Amino acid sequence: MPELPEVETVVQSIRDKLIGNEFENIEIRWPKVLFNFSKEDFLNTLINRKIQRVDRRAKFIIIGFDDDILAIHLRMTGKLYFQNNLSQKKHISAIITMNNGGYFIFEDTRKFGRFYYYNSQDYLNNKLGIEPLSNEFNDIWLKNILHNKKRMIKALLLDQNIIAGLGNIYVDECLWKSNIHPQTVSNKIPFKNILILCKEIKSTLQSSINAHGTTVVNFTFLNGQSGKYSDQLNIFGKEGRPCPRCSQTIKKKKIAGRGTHFCPKCQIKRN
DNA sequence: CCATGAACCTGGTCGC
DNA sequence: TGCGACCAGGTTCATG
């Protein structure tokens, strides 16, 4: 499911209910949900400890205790929310009982989402690429990466080890905004397009966060409210419709293993 | 180093 | 209405 703006939206929606509170118990309904630790580990290490912080790193939700963290990845269909009682919903992977009596629910239709436990956030920080909304991510940094690699730009932008947080929707949108064909080899992209790409990555992600993310199918947060960025999409999901810039018919094709939307007229491949 | 396809899961949609 | 094929916001692993 979610990319950076959607994960950020989830973090903002659960932060205040978690910070200062404690986990009291956990019920596991899909055993694989705990990736690198067991229910006993959870009970032994995370119960009755005050939650210090709730943050986002890339597409991970970080629940911080002291140095150690519970990291949650929603993958395609994961949802996190609070409830006052246990529901009989079908696809619940885990339920955490809170010290204040509420239930912290992880619902996940496709069951790809996972909980991870780490002694510190260093492991994730070392593995993941740069945060695109940080100041370190700028046009010079991006130019160096693109020009030092010979890689299809769409695959490069989706690679979480390089830039962390972009996914299929925002890559398609940002490549369209900067007139770059998704199959362009990264070191063939002119600097003037890289400048636009850098700027559009930041502004697209920030606009989407401001709109509480994109709802494609039924992504929801906080009791079913939907993200409003869907209204601002130009190219994603618009196959067969006219390009908002040049009116050419938008095409969809499998690129880098993902359904990819682009305008064949104004996104030029220069390989 | 890079590209591709399968795997992990369930459900929705489309064509016949 | 029913059924099979294909698709889905992500990531990882094997293979060439």
At A201-237, the pLDDT tens digits run 999 999 999 999 997 655 444 445 578 899 999 999 9
Residue A2 annotated in active site = yes
Give me the pLDDT at residue A87, please: 75
CATH number at residue A103: 3.20.190.10
Nucleotides of B under 7 A from a protein CB: 1-6, 8-12
**What is the extent of the structural domain holding A76?**
4-127
Which domain-ending residue is among A107, A127, A147? A127
pTM of the model: 0.96
Residue A6 annotated in active site = no
Residue A93 CA, nucleotide C14 C1', distance (Å): 28
Give every CB contact of residue A262 below 8 A, 6+ residues apart in sequence. A172, A175, A176, A181, A182, A235, A250, A251, A253
Which domain-ending residue is among A76, A103, A127? A127
Q: How far apart are CA A42 and CA A234, in angstroms?
A: 44
At A86-137, the pLDDT tens digits run 878 999 999 999 999 999 999 999 999 999 999 999 999 999 999 999 999 9
At A149-204, the pLDDT tens digits run 999 999 999 999 999 999 999 999 999 999 999 999 999 999 999 999 999 999 99
Give me the pLDDT at residue A221, please: 46
Give me the pLDDT at residue A227, please: 84
Q: Is the CB of A149 under 7 A from strand B?
A: yes
A125 Cα distance to chain centroid: 15
At A43-94, the pLDDT tens digits run 999 999 999 999 999 999 999 999 999 999 999 999 999 999 987 899 999 9
Q: Which nucleotide is nearest to A75 (CA to C1')?
A: C10
Nucleotides of C under 7 A from a protein CB: 7-12
Residue A110 annotated in active site = no
- Answer yes or no: are the C-beta atoms of A1 and A75 closer than 8 Å: yes
CATH number at residue A214: 1.10.8.50
Which domain-ending residue is among A67, A99, A127? A127
Q: Is the CB of A221 under 7 A from strand C?
A: no
Same domain, A157 and A215: yes
- Closest by CA to A180, choosing from A109, A99, A271, A116, is A271
User: Mean pLDDT over all residues of chain A?
Assistant: 94
Residue A258 annotated in active site = yes
Give me the pLDDT at residue A217, please: 56
Amino acid identity at A266 = C
Give me the pLDDT at residue A269, please: 82
Q: Is the CB of A1 under 7 A from strand B?
A: no
Site of tokens 């709730």: A54
Q: Is the CB of A75 under 7 A from strand C?
A: yes
Annotated catalytic residue within A5, A8, A57, A59: A59
